[in-house]
Structure 1
Amino acid sequence: MVRQYGLDEIGTISRARVGKRYAVEREADERKFFHKLAAAMNDIISRESVRAAIVAGPGFTKDAFVEFLREKYPELIPKVKIDNISSGGRVGLYEIVRRGLVERVSRENRVSFETSLVEQLMMEIAKGGPATYGEAEVKREAEVKRAASLGAVERLLVADELLRRNRAGVEGVLEQARRTRGKVIIVSTEHDAGKQLSALGGIAALLRFKV
């Protein structure tokens, strides 16, 4: 796993190399290996709340593994990114980091995550669901503050542009949401969803219940 302090090698799953075997036996052996690998991936993704997993390697085994996931573990596919590297093992892990694959996947995944939240927000607003929004320093912001004070905020979306412009003005709402177990998500205004949030005033909330 890639953590803030660097690579964290959680474990190794090896596949025994056996001499000449029938094709059927080799395929069965490969599928057993894939099952172990997929089960470990599934466990780590669930336990660590991983949003993306990179499957990389120098040969075609990675492609076969991804096809196996499509067949047996389709729920993992949206999180999987595949790429080529020149080496396996720990050397390959460092190559993934050195080539910027982690940063690229993280950036793409973050944009997708933020976009899905803003889309959910717009859907709830359109149907009068549990959501609210408001511009800083104008009347509607009081609705977001009130929702936060009542512990109704499940996710508070804040445009990074608003934080840069008026952090002091929204800091109280952020702290109130955190105190009541709301998640604060800073949304980049460099993509369309962030611009959409900015047009709503730069601050909005998906609520646990309507207020």
Structure 2
Amino acid sequence: MRASINHATGEARLTPESDEDIWHIERVLGPGDIVKSQSMRRFKPGEGESGDKRPVTVEIVAEKIEFHEQTGRLRITGKIKSGHPEEYIQIGAYHTIDVIPGEQVSVVKKWKPYQLERLKEAQSESRRPKLAIVAMDEEKATIALVKGYGVRKVCEIESRASKKDERKVHAQAVAKYYGAILDKVKGYGHRVIVAGPGFEKDNFRKFVEQNDKDVLARLSFEGCSNCEMSGIYELMRQGIVSKIAGQERAAREIEQMNEFIGAISGGPSSGTGGSGLAAYGRKAVAEALAYGAIERLMVNDELVRREEEIEKLVEKAEESGARVVYFNAHEYAGKQLEGFGGIAAFLKFKVK
């Protein structure tokens, strides 16, 4: 993402370069924000005429904000505040701005520290290598992409090979299976982890080496217990994805939740537990913050956007020098965190 912010006026000019960037923009927007962009608006020259769409520059006051994950498009709907050409603009009428990669959008608002931090994170993530994961065994391969906003299953490829087939027929079916996986992998210009139980991934490696050595340089081979999405999440919990992808957001969240669960394991079911250097739930976290005990705060982004109490708590934590990590509430780790009240913290010292 390309971003420039005028702190005096509160205007941020944002140019997303991917659907991950657009997702980050959606996360920092809220009702009442002023959004300006080039758009298309239907112009009816006369009554009863259907008219046609004309290009306009329009400024709206946001009311409804929707990110469409399948298309990677952000739709922002609100009443028109200003725009030009004036003959195509009706002040006070509703309009929807579509935010897509490559097109600049301006946002004017009172920016909060965590929102500015997210924009910085989006710029940083855009420079990191992207990653695909193939979890495979002799029967099936599951392919997923690790993106800034989470892990997305792309497809499944099934093998038609049967051990009942004669050797030549079986070998041809296996080669076709491997070839289908290789064709999919070749479409990604970034790193790919190939993992699975047993020796199938090793056999696939030999196939790639014989058929496309250039692709082999982008592949990393690891072990996991199965070829389903659960096998892919297993890789992320083990820290393998972060090591290869350079701390991809989704993997980082899973690792931190594992660390947190380890810190509280064996302890009581509320407040602090385990070593005593962790707290969860708004009451326990607020108490730890009052003592200046929070080292790192984890919070679901939806909770911050939805509840003013949590937003103020997060702001106080940032002011105290604590590092704040915002989780995607709709992803694997975010759902885990939701089970702990949507907010948790690592502590510098025990709080009684």
- Normalized per residue, which structure has more helix? 1
Structure number with higher relative contact order (C-alpha < 8 Å, ≥ 6 residues apart): 1
Larger radius of gyration: 2
- Normalized per residue, which structure has more strand? 2
TM-score of the pair, normalised by structure 2? 0.31
